[in-house]
Structure formats: structure tokens, C-alpha cells
Amino acid sequence: MQSGFPAMRRAFASAVATAVLALAFPAAAQDGAALLGRAADAARTLNYTGTIAYQRAAGVETARLIHVNDGGEEFEKLYNLDGPAREVIRSNGEVRCYYPDAKVVRVEPRTFRNAFPSLSPQQQSSLAQYYTVRKGGIGRVAGLEAQAWTFEPKDGLRYGHELWTDPTTGILLKARMINERGEVVEQIAFLDIVLGAKLGPEAAKPTWPVSPPDWQVRRPRTGKLVEADTGWVVAKLPPGYAKVSEGRLGGRGGKSDGAAQLVYSDGMVAVSVFIDQRGGPQRHVGRARQGGLNQFSVKQDDYVITALGEAPPDAVQAIATSVTRR
């Protein structure tokens, strides 16, 4: 794993050199954390509408996004522009996913916003220690001038990241994850965006404010993470990753007897470890991947242990295979 280190740096450096970032220079360590914090604030507090492209090996998918902050309360509507119609509404502390062809509404008791509004001092320290942050040149994304940034990994245990932000508001316009061969494993970008529009909550209303009577409303088997000591530990944690959370996913009837979840972060990404009884959602062992997300599952006694995160396959596998009882 360590042997991948020089190759990764070379590949990443060459990828960067051929991009618009030829004039990149190292930024102060705290700039990385500040940049991420500013982007998170902008994504939460601004009104914006735009078209998004999400690209990975399987192809490109596009979606329309409307985000409204109405006096501190967030409303968001996202619907895809290709493939079967899908709509995602985020409001009032929950997320509703509409599947008109299947006549299903799935309700998630999550907001995907407040878990970690900013990086902890530990995460900021990892970020500075395990990535070289460079401020690049000014490029163009979605018709806007965009400030380029690179987060170059210092070892083979994490992907490289290229980010483009709006210099005025700090909002993220484009993000790329790059593997050890300098290839883009995942890319997400605005194709067009309108920032600061005057929008009210009605702009992010669902197409189906009341679910049609013949639709099914489904609620997930597992609920939110309830902090707890799980008795599990990753014995050989790869350098730079530190635990940020530990607990159990809520089971049926509000009981916190679901899978154990341990979350480790290096400041840029996270790897979650799920320890579930056999018969849980993960039925097979081995690797799986989806864009920049890698997963590795292994059986241990009556449990299936799964590590999942925006980290290279080897890092995720190393974590999954060293989970043990404390």
C-alpha cells in the first residue's frame, strides 16, 4: 500500500500539470479547512437554482436543483432530467424521495446537513498533515469564473480532490476525485447556476404535495445513528483516519438495536464501518464500488462487517479486515 505512494503523487502531479492548474502553488494549511467551511456555509445559506451533472464510470446523469433558505430554514428540490423520473424534496428535517413509476414515496428522517457543520480540530489537523492543499488558477465552470483548488494526498490511502469554487460566495461549483493513476473516478458539477435569486419555499414544493392514494409511503428499516459504545474497534487504522462517531442505527420501533456504525475521517472524506447481524442489508463479501465510493465486506462469526467510504479500495479493505471486538 505504501509502495503506491510515489506513483500516486506522480500521477496526481501530472494530472494537475495538464489541467488549468499549471500555476498552482501551495496554500497555507488552514486554507483547506477554511475553504471547505465556506463552501458548506454557502451551500446551506444561499438561494440557488442550477443544473447538475454527475459523472462516474457508468456515464453521466443530470438533475435540476432548487435550494431555498427562507429565514434560516432550508427547502430543497432535486429532480433528474434523464432516466425514470425521480424527485427528492428536503424540508422539515426529512427527505422524501418520489418514484412515480413505482408509485412509491420513501421518507428518510435525515437532513444530510447538520451532522458535521464544520470540521473538528482533529479533522483539520489530519487534513493539513495528509493532503497538500494548493490554490490553483481561475477557470470557468457553469459560465462563472471559478477558483481552482487541489487536495493532493501524501500517501496511497486517499484519493486526490480538485475543487472549483465561486470566488464571491465560496459555493462549490465542481468537484473531482482522482485515483492513484491520475484518473477521475467521480465528478460532480453545475452546468449552469443562478445564485442569490429571490425564492420562497414554494419554489421547492414537491410535484405531489399530497401523495396520491394508490402510492405507497415507505420508511426505512434503519433510523438515525444513536451515539453509543459499540464494543467494536478498528485495530489497525490507516494513518490519518480518526474516529468521529460511534453508535447504533435505530432499529424497528425506535429501538437503537440496529447495525453498529463507526465513522473515521481524515478531514476530507470519511469511511464508515457497519457491523450487522447476518441477514442484514449486506449479503455478500468482497469489494463493491460506485464512483468514488468503495466498499469492502467480510464475514466474522455471526456478523457481516462492511467498510464504506470515499477512499481507495485498499484503504477501505484494510479498515474492514481489522475490525475486532474491544
Partner 1 sequence: MNEDISRLMDGELDDDGAVDRTLAGLRQDGAIATWMCYHVIGDTLRGDVAASTRLSRRLAAALADEPTVLAPQRRVDRPATWAWAMAASVAAVAVVGWTAVSLTDAPASTVALAREAASVRADSLRPQVIPAEYLLAHREMSPTTPIQGLGPIQRVSVTGDAALAR
**Residues 198-257, interacting with partner 1 (CB under 8 A):** 218, 220-222, 224-225, 244-245, 249
Minimum Å gap between C-beta 182 and partner 1 is 15
Minimum Å gap between C-beta 118 and partner 1 is 8
Report the residue number, 31 or 108, with the smaller CB distance to partner 1: 108
Minimum Å gap between C-beta 23 and partner 1 is 24
CA–CA gap between residue 41 and residue 317 (Å, rounded): 33
Q: Which of 8, 24, 119, 148 binds partner 1 (CB under 8 A)?
A: 119
Q: Which stretch binds partner 1 (CB under 8 A): 78-86, 129-137, 199-207, 234-242?
A: 78-86
Q: How many CB atoms lie within 10 A of CB 51?
A: 15
Decide if residue 7 touches partner 1 (CB under 8 A).
Answer: no
Decide if residue 164 touches partner 1 (CB under 8 A).
Answer: no
How many residues touch partner 1 under the rule CB under 8 A: the total is: 78
Decide if residue 129 touches partner 1 (CB under 8 A).
Answer: no
Minimum Å gap between C-beta 72 and partner 1 is 16
Decide if residue 88 touches partner 1 (CB under 8 A).
Answer: yes
- Do residues 141 and 189 make contact, with C-beta atoms less than 8 angstroms apart? yes
Q: Which of 158, 310, 316, 323 binds partner 1 (CB under 8 A)?
A: 310
Q: Which stretch binds partner 1 (CB under 8 A): 5-13, 129-137, 232-240, 285-293?
A: 285-293
- Do residues 261 and 270 make contact, with C-beta atoms less than 8 angstroms apart? no
C-alpha cell at 268: 476530507
CA–CA gap between residue 173 and residue 47 (Å, rounded): 14
Report the residue number, 17 or 192, with the smaller CB distance to partner 1: 192
C-alpha cell at 65: 436543483
- Do residues 34 and 147 make contact, with C-beta atoms less than 8 angstroms apart? no
- The C-alpha angle 155, 161, 165, rounded to 5 degrees, equals 150
Q: Which stretch binds partner 1 (CB under 8 A): 13-21, 34-42, 134-142, 204-212?
A: 34-42
Q: Which stretch binds partner 1 (CB under 8 A): 7-15, 50-58, 137-145, 196-204?
A: 50-58
* DSSP state letters, 178-243: E-TTS-EEEEEEEEEEEES----GGGG--S-SS--TTSEEE--SS--EEE---SEEESSPPTT-EE
Decide if residue 157 touches partner 1 (CB under 8 A).
Answer: no
- The C-alpha angle 94, 98, 102, rounded to 5 degrees, equals 140
CA–CA gap between residue 157 and residue 311 (Å, rounded): 7
